[in-house]
Amino acid sequence: MKCGCNHSLAFVCGLFASLGAALFIAEDRCLDAGGRLSDVAWACEAPWGALSPLWNLVTPGVIAATVVLVGVPVYFAIAYAGRRWLFRYGPHS
């Protein structure tokens, strides 16, 4: 019996890895602009006191690049590891 559950897990891991990388870039941009990260929300507090969401600091192009550079490799790594694990410890063993 073939199981596609490792592909779902790989997709979710790749998605969260991409979001984490994009969030890291947004935090770095906030700090580079002289702002500081809010403790209670995912926001950047500018030096003059204005709050803006961290996601406003990354462009769709940056998010797409993190998906390609981080999410896709994580997807393939988890899918490969899951396939090996299912083959080794699957129902046939």
Whether residue 45 is contained in a domain is answered as: yes
Residue 21 CA to residue 11 CA, distance in Å, equals 15
Total number of domains in the chain: 1
* Domain contains 1: no
Each residue's pLDDT tens digit, 48-81: 888 889 899 999 999 999 999 999 999 999 988 8
Instruction: Identify whether 16 is part of a domain.
Output: yes
**Element at 42 (helix H, strand E):** none
First-to-last alpha carbon distance for the chain, in angstroms, is: 13
Task: Examine residue 66 and state whether it is found in any structural domain, yes or no.
Answer: yes
Q: Is residue 36 part of a domain?
A: yes
Quote the CA–CA distance of 25 and 79 in Å, as a whole number: 26
pLDDT at 1: 45
Q: What is the pLDDT of residue 91?
A: 57
Burial class (CB in 10 A: 0-12, 13-18, 19+), 37: middle
**Has residue 2 been placed in a domain?**
no
Asked, for residue 71, whether it belongs to a domain, the answer is yes
The answer to whether residue 80 is domain-embedded is yes
Q: Which domain holds residue 46?
A: 7-89
